[in-house]
A and B are shown apart, each in its own frame.
Chain A
Amino acid sequence: MSDAAAGQITSSPPEPAAAAPAGPMLAADGRPLKASLNRALRRQKLRALALIAPLLLFILITFVAPIFDMLFRSVENQIVSETLPRTVIALEDWDAEGTPGDAVYDVLAVDFLAAAERREHTRLGSRLNYETTGMSSLFRRTGRGVDDIGEVYADQFIDLNPAFEAPSFWVPLVAENAWAESYDAETGEGPLFIADAAFEAQFPATADAYESFARTIQTEDGDNPYEEEPWNTVYQALYTDLAAAGGDLGVFADTPELAQAAAALPEFETLSAREAFLEIDEDWGDPEVFATIQAFSDPYTAGYFLAAVDLQLTPDGVSVQPEEQQIYILLFQRTMFMSLAITLSCVLLGYPIAYLLSNLPVRTSNLLLILVLLPFWTSLLVRTSAWKVLLQQEGVINDILVWIGLVGDGSRLALINNQTGTIIAMTHILLPFMILPLFSVMKTIPPSYVRAAKSLGATPFTAFRRVYFPQSVPGIGAGCILVFILAIGYYITPELVGGRTGTFISNRIAFHISSSLNWGLAAALGSILLALVLVLYWLYDRIVGIDNVKLG
């Protein structure tokens, strides 16, 4: 142990120091005593840290990292820019006036088809549905029809020359030489597809659409570009590129198929991507759809936090949610109100008990303390099930009330699945957390003070109010903060006895994690709750000190 090293230094005889009276005092091994002590201290610190390190690491990985992950998720919003990368870039310059230009619809077709093949469009639809209702169904419907976009062109190109259908025509035309060399056309093993720079310069949209096609089939289905026909969007892009080139094919002028297509282009039947999208769903003509995509294209968003306080991020900036969707402020208020009510009833019930316990002889109070500790040690679910059974309409309490005649058999009280149920059950569950700190403070109040007050002529009430009560206030403060902190984060009991009106913000968090799958909003609500608890905890630390937390 560290004490052994310290012992050696302090107990060593000071002969070396006596031998050199002019220099600094030396330890037994001839080093200066100061340096020697510093070294021992440093070693002691390191040893202490080495003992703590494994646990610290464990908590950081299993507990602190998850909390930070949650905080991160409350602002993270990469899904839009990851699912529709080209569309997001194309929308950057759009001024939100009317529908965006044809170019946006063209790249949207490419993005959407790839997303649909990866089955990610529904996820994005539900994500955007949190912001604008109707997005989810729009995306699902579009996902079913998007592979037809560009079919008109595909048919015409292939009718013109069957080579356009052949993978063996496309890959050598579009692929970069270096990629083609490292990719094994037989087994389909090798790096992700890369388009050739010269082709990309002449046919940018086609290169992009083909690359999107090739990479998606490679990653998603493990397919080989040498064996798969391109998607319709590639033909659509080829038409756009050829039309834009206006017959000037540059270095590709000697590719016969392309030259043939360029010549036949004016005869082509046309159907732009915009028209195709509108055919699938006329909502694609609604600027709000694109405004939503644009508003949430940043990789980080304050949208979840705004939603958690009943605001929303619209294309025109921050605004208040429609009235029927304003639930979170109300829920926070209700959580606070009910936690306060629970804290108050805990003080009212806990104070007399703590007072009684601290004024009884130790033997009796230890015995009665067991009545407080037993509920403290009993499983939370046992206590909750007890209340669920007792408070039912056909339960024991209503039976007794009917038997006494306080309420009629027909008008049994609704004690459960409402706020009353939550407050009763949680007061019972949290009462020990109020009694124990109160008791430990009251134990230290000397009874002689109250006696002195009485002997000076104070009535028992005055003596209590002026002398005893002020000394017990720290205990009330500690108990109240503890109960309040525990109450606002409660989940199980409100879930089981709270019904619809007696639930807390934590029940909503659980709902968003497991049912509505709006993880971002759950994380934002959780972050707000966490901030609230940390402020209270800081208060508790200032008033009571975390080192004074005692158990049992």
Chain B
Amino acid sequence: MDHKLPPYATTGERIWFYGFRVLCGLIFFFLIAPILIIIPLSFNAEDFFTFTPGMLRFDPEAYSFKHYEDFFTNPDWQQALGNSVRIAPVATILSVSLGTLAAIGLSQSHVPFKGAIMAILISPMIVPLIISAAGMYFFYSRVGLQGTYFGVVLAHAALGIPFVIITVTATLVGFDRSLTRASASLGADPVRTFFKIQMPLILPGVISGGLFAFITSFDEVVVVLFVGSAGQQTLPWQMFTGLREQISPTILAVATILVVVSIALLTTVELLRRRSERLRGMSPA
């Protein structure tokens, strides 16, 4: 099926053409609606999880910011937010710095045991989270890292590394090696070449890898549930216990804020990807 209906299309083809679009529209609705519907629900003036008659009449009285107020004043939520903000950036810095170095090493032309090394580095993404969580729980309790801030940071950094490796190696695939040679022939040492030539070119890949690592840590709940203790309770953890035990509409306000954050992140990654492709001459400007 082409994207335009030809003028000579039969009735059957017309029905199929529009029917297919309606079907796709419904699937897109299924994808997006659950996320969007929580936004109006989070402004509910009542403690309900559905639209009140007042909300359906667009009565301003039926809407309020009280769940947002609760989020910003409740010490439990604030502590969870603080923990998330303390854990995710540190884990991201760890995985980005180690991951970028390794990705540069991996993209060299002669790397012994490349397949095996790649498999090990990617493994945190493949192994189901519950298994990583179980293993880390057992091992970290042996070495005294269980229930510590440092333990959670290390665990989250490990989980974020495959994303950094994948995005940075993808950027390096299109990297023009003659640029570093040119830099070296003009007298720059390897370190200067790296920061002046290579780094600016692969920066978009590094940043989007970093964003992936950040969102992995910021969103992660299984591993932190096991490796962390009450002192490391993060935002997703708080949401998880909230959903399991005493479900409060504040969760919807938090969810809305997180949706806004993910829209911002998605836009950034998309812009970076386009910029990177343009820089490397893979698509016309």
Number of B interface residues at 8 Å Cβ cutoff, please give it.
103
Expressed in whole angstroms, the minimum distance between the Cβ of B113 and any Cβ of chain A is 9
Q: Are A56 and B102 in contact, CB atoms less than 8 angstroms apart?
A: yes
Q: Residue A526 contacts which of B126, B135, B219 (CB distance < 8 angstroms)?
A: B135
Q: Are A59 and B123 in contact, CB atoms less than 8 angstroms apart?
A: yes
Name B33-69 residues within 8 Å CB distance of A: 34-35, 37-38, 41, 48-51
Does any Cβ of B come within 8 Å of A18's Cβ? no
B-chain residues with CB within 8 Å of residue A54 when the two chains form the complex: 98, 101-102
Q: Are A526 and B161 in contact, CB atoms less than 8 angstroms apart?
A: no
Does any Cβ of B come within 8 Å of A306's Cβ? no
Does any Cβ of B come within 8 Å of A356's Cβ? yes
Does any Cβ of A come within 8 Å of B239's Cβ? yes
B-chain residues with CB within 8 Å of residue A530 when the two chains form the complex: 127-128, 131
Q: How far is the CA of A368 from the CA of B24 in the complex (A)?
A: 11
- Among the 9-residue stretches A92-100, A265-273, A543-551, the one with 4 or more Cβ atoms under 8 Å from chain B is A543-551
Does any Cβ of A come within 8 Å of B201's Cβ? no
A-chain residues with CB within 8 Å of residue B199 when the two chains form the complex: none
Does any Cβ of A come within 8 Å of B30's Cβ? yes
Q: Residue B180 contacts which of A1, A377, A519 (CB distance < 8 angstroms)?
A: A1
Q: How far is the CA of A372 from the CA of B32 in the complex (A)?
A: 8
Q: Are B32 and A374 in contact, CB atoms less than 8 angstroms apart?
A: yes
Does any Cβ of B come within 8 Å of A70's Cβ? yes
Q: How far is the CA of A20 from the CA of B123 in the complex (A)?
A: 54
Q: Are B1 and A49 in contact, CB atoms less than 8 angstroms apart?
A: no
Question: Per-position contact with B for A363-397: 1 when CB-CB < 8 Å, else 0?
Answer: 01000101111110111111111111110101110
Does any Cβ of A come within 8 Å of B258's Cβ? yes
> In this complex, which of B134, B139, B221, B222 has the most chain A Cβ atoms within 10 angstroms of its Cβ?
B134
Name B100-121 residues within 8 Å CB distance of A: 101-102, 104-106, 108-112, 117-121
Q: How far is the CA of A447 from the CA of B1 in the complex (A)?
A: 9
B-chain residues with CB within 8 Å of residue A382 when the two chains form the complex: 35, 38, 255, 258-259, 262
Question: Per-position contact with A for B247-285: 1 when CB-CB < 8 Å, else 0?
Answer: 100011001001100110110011001000000000000
Q: Are A52 and B106 in contact, CB atoms less than 8 angstroms apart?
A: yes
Q: How far is the CA of A58 from the CA of B158 in the complex (A)?
A: 8
Does any Cβ of B come within 8 Å of A16's Cβ? no
Q: How far is the CA of A70 from the CA of B3 in the complex (A)?
A: 53
Q: How far is the CA of A460 from the CA of B167 in the complex (A)?
A: 39
A-chain residues with CB within 8 Å of residue B50 when the two chains form the complex: 389, 392, 394-396, 399
Expressed in whole angstroms, the minimum distance between the Cβ of B153 and any Cβ of chain A is 10
A-chain residues with CB within 8 Å of residue B202 when the two chains form the complex: none
B-chain residues with CB within 8 Å of residue A387 when the two chains form the complex: 34
Expressed in whole angstroms, the minimum distance between the Cβ of B213 and any Cβ of chain A is 11
Q: Residue B134 contacts which of A45, A364, A495, A522 (CB distance < 8 angstroms)?
A: A522
Q: Are A526 and B131 in contact, CB atoms less than 8 angstroms apart?
A: yes
Residue of B nearest to A46 (CB): B112
Expressed in whole angstroms, the minimum distance between the Cβ of A185 and any Cβ of chain B is 35
Q: Residue B222 contacts which of A55, A64, A492, A549 (CB distance < 8 angstroms)?
A: A492
Q: Are B30 and A349 in contact, CB atoms less than 8 angstroms apart?
A: yes
Does any Cβ of B come within 8 Å of A48's Cβ? yes
Q: Are A379 and B262 in contact, CB atoms less than 8 angstroms apart?
A: yes
Q: Are A386 and B38 in contact, CB atoms less than 8 angstroms apart?
A: yes
Known interface pairs A7-B185, A526-B134; 11 further A-B residue pairs with C-beta atoms within 8 A, sorted by A's residue number: A1-B194, A3-B177, A356-B20, A364-B3, A370-B266, A378-B259, A382-B38, A385-B239, A385-B252, A537-B126, A551-B166
The 7 A-B residue pairs whose C-beta atoms are closest, nearest first, are: A489-B128, A51-B105, A66-B135, A66-B139, A55-B102, A4-B184, A506-B130
Using a CB–CB cutoff of 8 Å, the interface residues on chain B facing chain A are 1-3, 13, 16, 20-21, 23-24, 27-28, 30-32, 34-35, 37-38, 41, 48-51, 94, 98-99, 101-102, 104-106, 108-112, 117-124, 126-140, 142, 154-155, 157-158, 161, 163, 166-167, 170, 177, 180-181, 184-185, 190, 193-194, 208, 212, 215, 218-219, 221-222, 226, 236, 239-240, 243-244, 247, 251-252, 255, 258-259, 262-263, 265-266, 269-270, 273
A sample of 22 cross-chain residue pairs with beta-carbon separation below 8 angstroms, ordered by A number, consists of: A1-B180, A3-B184, A4-B190, A45-B110, A45-B111, A45-B112, A59-B120, A59-B158, A63-B132, A63-B136, A375-B35, A379-B262, A381-B219, A385-B255, A386-B34, A390-B34, A392-B50, A394-B48, A460-B1, A509-B134, A513-B137, A530-B128
